Chain A
Amino acid sequence: MGRWMTVRAWLVLAMTVVIPVVASGHPEIPGGDQGRPVAIIAATVHTVSDGVLENATLVMRKGKIVAVGTDVAVPKNAIRIEAAGKHVTPGLFSAHSDIGLVEINAVRATLDKAETGSVNPNVKSWVSVNPDSEMIPVARSNGVLLALTAPAGGLLTGQSAVMQLDGWTYEDMTVKPATAMHLNWPAMSPVLDWETDESAKEQIASRDTALKNLRAAFDDARAYAAARAADAETPVDARWESMQPVLAGEMPLIIDADDLQQIQAAVAFAAEQKLKLILHGGYDAPLCAELLKKHQVPVIVSEVYRLPLRRGEPYDTAYTVPARLHEAGVDFCIAGGGRFGASMLRNLPYHAAMAVAFGLPEDVALKAITLAPAEILGVANRVGSLAKGKDATLIITDGDPLETATQVEAAFVQGRPVDLDDRHKRLWKKYEEKYRRLGRN
């Protein structure tokens, strides 16, 4: 890491916003591979898997965490980061987002989120993740270093991948390709509001059609498998081929469902088809917690900042979903990627914090945006907590990682230092300079 003069200098550098000297756009340069070991010393370390360690040291080497604890020997050749008063946390992890697939919502040319048609199990989100999306540096500036990038639209929307938010190419960024298959469960009861043109009757008809198509897709995929087994010359069908891992229970199916009826139907469907189910949305999940526990269905709470879905519900219904799931013993995590999409992914920690304001224990909240998503999405062997052997994907903050005013001072992805500059900071510095020249700041 030739740029690093000394450890202290590096930290100073990281704490100050730097405008990199580059000629063209997307100036944030991916971090280089870790050379010397790095030791973060005297920090408050939120291991998530093993409690909070005060005055602890964490050592990373070749991209992995090799030691973490209060009694850790710092290798002689290590770069030392003195981090007294700082907090070290696993890189924040959104279990559901569209980051990399969407740049500007209202500009169609920048959207690669939803393929046409309603049955697209074969499309793969990660091959369309734009590593130079301006959303990415903005998200990681607030500590979000991992995200499931998922396709949307239609019924079977396609496959998602866990991405780490630094790298030259999508391949560099992909932590786990084909993490899950995604399905939007049809709305079971009609909704009458200004966003719906259809009458109640039409909505029920659409629902029935969607449910029929859904079942047909699974039946066809099984029939295809049988035909291929019987005759290897059966032509390949990309859609049904891609569904085989799901049918085999190897690839989880993430079903979008908020309403109680949707959730119950989804759980029943998964049981009938012997699928590995993960729920996304989960607004009503606390109402059927026993069912979810019995069938071991984890829930990705899409977001905490949500209005009650029904007029008469308590004003804090959405705020208390995580606390209620926790109390009921349902496995869950918080994604924070729903309504506002990639541009607001940086607010992930605030979703968790809002759940704390409404009853969720703080350590569980932090877990809900670090280790819990890693466990639910099957990457906990690599990321999600600060433990020996895991990827050195972590952040250093100047305070409680969930509080608004807290600043992320440094971040590492697999031990590579992350450039924490972004479009917003660049513009901020540019116009600070304007007012400095005018003598008006």
Chain B
Amino acid sequence: MFRSCRRSLVVSQISLAMLFLATWGLAAPVTTRPVEGLRSNTPDVHALVGARIVVSPGHVIEQGAVVVRDGRIEAVGRVETPADARVWELSGKTIYPGLIDAFTETSVDTASIGSGAVHWNDQVTPQLDVVDSGIRDRDANTKLRSQGIAARLLAPAGRILKGSSAVVLTNNAAAHTALVRRNVAQHLRLTVSPGRGRSDYPGSPMGAVALARQTFSDADWYQRAWQAAEADPGLPQPERNDALAALAAHVAGQGLFVADAANELFVLRADSFAREFSLNLAIRGSGHEYKRLDAIKACNRTVIVPVDFPKPPNVATAEAALAVDLEDLLHWELAPENAARLVEAGVKIAVSTDGLKDVGTFLKGMRTAVDRGLDAEAALAAVTTTPATLLGVSEQLGTLEPQKIANLVVTDGDLFDASTKVLETWVAGERFEVTTQPRFDFRGRWSITVDGEGPELTMSLTGKGTKLEGTVRAVTDSQPNEAKAGDATPDESETEASDESADDRDAEGDTKLSRLGVQDRQLSATFSAKELFGDGVVRLSGVAMEAKRGPPMLEGHLTLADGSRKTFSATRLAAADDGEDEDDEQDEDAQESQKATAEVVTFPLGAAGRSAIPEQPQSVLFRNGTVWTSSDAGVLEDASVLVIDGQIQAVGKDLKAPRKAVVIDLDGRHLTPGIIDCHSHMATDGGVNESTQAITAEVRIGDFIDADDITIYRQLAGGVTTANILHGSANPIGGQNQVIKLRWGALPDEMKLATAPGGIKFALGENVKQANWGDDYTTRYPQTRMGVEQIMRDAFEAARRYRDEQSAWQQTGRGLPPRRDLELEAIAEILEGDRWIHCHSYRQDEILALLRTLDDYEITIGSFQHILEGYKVADAMADHGAMGSAFADWWAYKFEVYDAIPYAGALMHNAGVVVSFNSDDRELGRHLNQEAAKAVKYGGVAPAEALKFVTLNPAKQLRIESRVGSVEVGKDADLVVWSGDPLAITSRVEQTWIDGRRYFDREDDLQARHRDASVRNRLVQKILDSGEEMASAEDREADESELWPREDIFCHGHGHGHGHEHAE
């Protein structure tokens, strides 16, 4: 197989080389297939000579040769042409390594694994190998080769753990020879698309991550369990599972994982998932990575980026523009700079055709990226060496070096130059012509001599390639043929002179040629006979013949209208110009104006984004205001609050400002603790509900914090500083909640309040028993409140037993190692006091029943949420130590809230229950101070106590009162400046501080509006100026993360809906 090793070859690892051998079967292969008919012994040796050779990014040989033998590169550079080689003269051309498309995918048939031991969930198919579904796709390959792509990663599409991919060549060979490497990577999609059924687990992105997490954990267990079982035949045998086996092997071998990342936040999510399981990860990017550059750089992962840049949004009319988000406008402008910005930040990238509707526009996209700042060398690396290394095929692909597979691209110029054409793509030594070069270039002026009687003619042919146009005219005395055929060849240019004279002649006497056709060396055309050959249409056909001496001749015949034929011969007078037409120049002009923009990326990108987290002054003094402390100190008039390093240092009168302190003169205005919303569903794009099973304790809101949710900013403007992001109420035991601080502009992980203890959503009543789900949902257990009570007990019992088994194994080491069950793990944490229940509750009976259940397991509840009839059993709540987080005045949206009353807060409060008012709503969360005032109205709670309903009390319910909830020394400086009494409905938030940083300021907000408006105007003008085709309304598709609910859709009749906004 290795015919020669004339040049030094470095094989770094023997084992690696062995691996290559296993998958390597190229030209002149050792084949098992019997020969049919004659043996083919066509020599397979080529010398591509005279070209500029780009050996690898940054390594160029200005003129040299590439010798290819039996599909491999034999020699590169100033080498002698082997005697047995076919010579390809390529002077003036450039040879690049064949490009590698780092990501393509194909839907695969899961039938191939169907008969094995499959995973219980059909979203988990790591044992699926894309090669088993066939890798040959002629149409795709033709397109890919037209872009210089000689190899590609082919991944299986669909599902969460999708299966393994392969690197395949883009020749049209079957797997026997086209497969470079299989099992290259395992592919992950750590989310699902909206629209899955309500009983199809996982039904949400967070469910998808939970399933993946459990599966990776199971794979680890699977391996250990089988080891134990094999070591001790007396043990029970674990289940067989092809999925877990495949996954375990891939993880153990440090195999590559490629995770889809639909936007920049998914990159960070995939990265933390990979860290959890120490995976070797690369990212299939979206083109949005520039939005969080530093964070993505910190992941230190290779990102495979697309070059499918968006069309400009429709801003053709003022009305249409109104619906266009600033972020989309900015993305139109910045998407082409994604690759450049990543490279500049030091992120390793590969580029793929992923996402392109037409793969034939790949190079166009690459060139745009280069125009917009991507270093050309880096661009080349992104389609050669980087993917080769990433995909474990750098010994075979990626550069023009001896021993590598002979994948080459021949171009007529710089690959990233707009006018450059890919002429040929060689795949494993097989030459594929991309741009059909005419066998003979007919362009120029010809002198035609017609035999016998007939006029002497001049024929002019212009055009490109095989698409020609032209004229004939009779030679008159006034304009004799200027010269006899000289040595003009098509390659030389005398273009200017001949062009000018052609223009002169256009005026009169020309007869246009029609139906001009070129095939191989034949030319055909028709023209009107008038004035030349009488009436009718003349048909011309001729063949270009090489002359023994001198230039080629065109010989053929004319068929006249009457059917008679005349032979002719023609000689070329002058060659045509070489096709630099005006279009190309215009393109270049257009690109001139497209250089990299200076637009600063804000966090998040678009409206109200900021260029950095607000600074934390070393000291801040709020002075001369009314301070609602939400502590025993009550409401202090003419008071001051001193903040040092983000924490409250002193509260009182006459505090002195330290040197260089930022002083906020309240001037009689009011200062309160930051508002805490104990029940929110904002800032998550994980779907809110994993509704498909009655118990989903394994899912985590924290896996899907959407730091870019504009609701965060809007609620900051309402004084909210901390929020409890809860799973919805679709099931008795839902997912784990996440407490965040509203650090607008920060990363998702930075928003998490790290010191908040874990929590979990429970739910009771109509939602969990599917009372309002419709007639298709009447069988899932439970369907009654009786069943709800039982399923809770059953879960606690199972978790207790789970822990017992774990500790027994740890003590004795006997038996199979216990499988880690993340669902029971979370419930066991409740039993152990490490995870707090926040339970959605309505009717008094279910409230009491849960309290009794918890009492039996010695669990103290974290909080009751909604707790609409808590006022009926406030004594029992107080006795248990249960706190209640309620709506101020919602009622009657479903039957179980017909008895909800706005006096509930006061009644519970008076009975000794710690009460908070929450929003559960993106709008209501913006004025929770007004909700607190309703406790004054309905039941006469004292104002300072009422304010605690939205400050200290929710902090207590979330067990974070040591950090936040009141204006007390040592707590975080989470503070709100109000224009007046915070319980007065006409008061407005003027500033919101978190950690001693000013996250909202109404003055700044007004300025940001102007800034955003001017950016918007600039972009609208730029789009209108660009003349680019705008995206049509009909073609609009939403970012998938926008299609997941941002509220608890199972909380029926909340009135969350659009109301009258969408007429039918």
Q: A307–B714 contact, CB under 8 A?
A: yes
Given contacts A357-B986, A440-B912, contact A405 B1033 (CB under 8 A): no
> A395-407 interface mask toward B, CB cutoff 8 Å, 1 = contact, 0 = none?
0000000111111
Q: A357–B907 contact, CB under 8 A?
A: no
Which of A105, A195, A405 contacts B1058, CB < 8 Å? A195
A339 within 8 A of B: yes
Q: B1059–A338 contact, CB under 8 A?
A: yes
Q: B1038–A192 contact, CB under 8 A?
A: yes
Q: How far is the CB of B1048 from chain A (nearest CB, A)?
A: 12
Q: B1045–A194 contact, CB under 8 A?
A: yes
Q: B320–A189 contact, CB under 8 A?
A: yes
Which of A302, A310, A428, A438 contacts B907, CB < 8 Å? A428
Given contacts A200-B1033, A441-B910, contact A405 B983 (CB under 8 A): yes
Q: Which 9 A-B residue pairs are closest in the complex by CB-CB distance?
A: A184-B1063, A105-B1053, A312-B607, A106-B894, A192-B1038, A428-B903, A404-B933, A343-B892, A106-B1053
B557 within 8 A of A: no
Q: How far is the CB of B283 from chain A (nearest CB, A)?
A: 26
20 more contacts with CB within 8 A, not counting A194-B1044, A256-B1060, A354-B985, are: A104-B1053, A106-B895, A106-B1052, A152-B1060, A185-B1063, A192-B1036, A194-B1045, A200-B1035, A200-B1037, A210-B1064, A311-B325, A312-B325, A312-B326, A341-B1055, A353-B986, A357-B985, A403-B984, A405-B933, A424-B903, A431-B874
Q: How far is the CB of B945 from chain A (nearest CB, A)?
A: 13
Contacts of A308 in B (CB 8 A): 714
Q: B1064–A344 contact, CB under 8 A?
A: no
Segment at the A interface, from B392-400, B635-643, B752-760, B919-927: B919-927
A118's nearest neighbour on chain B, judged by CB, is B1064
A145 within 8 A of B: no
Q: How far is the CB of B1008 from chain A (nearest CB, A)?
A: 9
CA distance A107 to B766 in the complex (A): 12
- Interface positions, chain B 172-206, Cβ under 8 Å from A, are 194
Say what secondary structure dominates the interface of chain B. loop
CA distance A190 to B1038 in the complex (A): 11
A340 within 8 A of B: yes
- Interface positions, chain B 901-957, Cβ under 8 Å from A, are 901-903, 907, 910-912, 922-924, 926-927, 930, 933-934, 936-939
20 contacts between A and B (CB under 8 A): A104-B898, A105-B892, A105-B893, A105-B1052, A118-B1064, A134-B892, A135-B892, A184-B1063, A185-B1063, A186-B1064, A189-B319, A195-B1058, A306-B923, A307-B923, A311-B325, A311-B710, A339-B923, A347-B889, A424-B938, A435-B875
B710's nearest neighbour on chain A, judged by CB, is A311
Q: A193–B1043 contact, CB under 8 A?
A: yes
A306's nearest neighbour on chain B, judged by CB, is B923
Q: A424–B1060 contact, CB under 8 A?
A: no
B858 within 8 A of A: no
Q: How far is the CB of A229 from chain B (nearest CB, A)?
A: 32
- Interface positions, chain A 404-441, Cβ under 8 Å from B, are 404-407, 423-425, 427-428, 431-432, 434-435, 438, 440-441
Contacts of B912 in A (CB 8 A): 440
> A241-277 interface mask toward B, CB cutoff 8 Å, 1 = contact, 0 = none?
0000000000000001011110010000000000000
Q: How far is the CB of A264 from chain B (nearest CB, A)?
A: 7
Q: A192–B892 contact, CB under 8 A?
A: no
Contacts of B1059 in A (CB 8 A): 302, 338-339
Q: B926–A315 contact, CB under 8 A?
A: yes
Say what secondary structure dominates the interface of chain A. loop
Contacts of B713 in A (CB 8 A): 315
> A323-364 interface mask toward B, CB cutoff 8 Å, 1 = contact, 0 = none?
000000000000000111111101100100110111000100
Contacts of A187 in B (CB 8 A): 1061-1063
B987 within 8 A of A: yes
Which of B194, B608, B930 contacts A194, CB < 8 Å? B194
CA distance A126 to B585 in the complex (A): 72
Q: B714–A195 contact, CB under 8 A?
A: no
Contacts of A32 in B (CB 8 A): none
B1042 within 8 A of A: yes
B361 within 8 A of A: no
CA distance A187 to B903 in the complex (A): 40
Q: B1063–A354 contact, CB under 8 A?
A: no
A294 within 8 A of B: no
Given contacts A106-B772, A256-B1063, A344-B1055, contact A193 B911 (CB under 8 A): no
B138 within 8 A of A: no
A280 within 8 A of B: yes
Given contacts A200-B1035, A357-B985, A358-B988, contact A315 B717 (CB under 8 A): yes
A261's nearest neighbour on chain B, judged by CB, is B319
B1060's nearest neighbour on chain A, judged by CB, is A256
CA distance A313 to B871 in the complex (A): 40
B1057's nearest neighbour on chain A, judged by CB, is A195
A200's nearest neighbour on chain B, judged by CB, is B1036
A interface size (C-beta, 8 A):
88
- Interface positions, chain A 178-214, Cβ under 8 Å from B, are 184-196, 199-201, 204, 206, 210
Q: How far is the CB of A160 from chain B (nearest CB, A)?
A: 13
Q: How far is the CB of A255 from chain B (nearest CB, A)?
A: 9
B interface size (C-beta, 8 A):
84
Given contacts A103-B892, A312-B325, A312-B326, contact A350 B985 (CB under 8 A): yes
Q: How far is the CB of A268 from chain B (nearest CB, A)?
A: 13
Contacts of A186 in B (CB 8 A): 1063-1064
Contacts of A118 in B (CB 8 A): 1064
Contacts of B996 in A (CB 8 A): none
Q: A315–B1005 contact, CB under 8 A?
A: yes
Q: How far is the CB of B875 from chain A (nearest CB, A)?
A: 6
Given contacts A104-B894, A155-B1063, contact A435 B910 (CB under 8 A): yes
- Interface positions, chain B 274-326, Cβ under 8 Å from A, are 319-320, 322-323, 325-326
Q: B1060–A302 contact, CB under 8 A?
A: yes
Contacts of A428 in B (CB 8 A): 871, 901, 903, 907, 938-939
Contacts of B1036 in A (CB 8 A): 190, 192, 200
> A130-164 interface mask toward B, CB cutoff 8 Å, 1 = contact, 0 = none?
00001100000000000000001111000000000
Which of A192, A302, A434 contacts B1043, CB < 8 Å? A192
B1012 within 8 A of A: yes
Contacts of B1064 in A (CB 8 A): 118, 153-155, 184, 186, 206, 210
Contacts of B1045 in A (CB 8 A): 194
Contacts of B1012 in A (CB 8 A): 312
B872's nearest neighbour on chain A, judged by CB, is A431
- Interface positions, chain B 326-359, Cβ under 8 Å from A, are 326-327
A316 within 8 A of B: yes
CA distance A428 to B986 in the complex (A): 28
B615 within 8 A of A: no
Q: B937–A404 contact, CB under 8 A?
A: yes
CA distance A343 to B1049 in the complex (A): 19
Which of A190, A311, A343 contacts B606, CB < 8 Å? A311
Q: B901–A427 contact, CB under 8 A?
A: yes
A91 within 8 A of B: no
Most B C-beta atoms less than 10 A away, residue of A104, A310, A432: A104
Q: How far is the CB of B1020 from chain A (nearest CB, A)?
A: 13
Most B C-beta atoms less than 10 A away, residue of A152, A185, A305, A313: A313
Q: How far is the CB of B395 from chain A (nearest CB, A)?
A: 47
CA distance A280 to B1005 in the complex (A): 29
CA distance A280 to B1061 in the complex (A): 10
Contacts of A104 in B (CB 8 A): 892-895, 898, 1053
B440 within 8 A of A: no
CA distance A406 to B936 in the complex (A): 9
Q: How far is the CB of B1012 from chain A (nearest CB, A)?
A: 6
B482 within 8 A of A: no
CA distance A195 to B1052 in the complex (A): 13
Contacts of B889 in A (CB 8 A): 344, 346-347
> B1016-1038 interface mask toward A, CB cutoff 8 Å, 1 = contact, 0 = none?
10000000000000000111111
Most B C-beta atoms less than 10 A away, residue of A154, A199, A280: A199
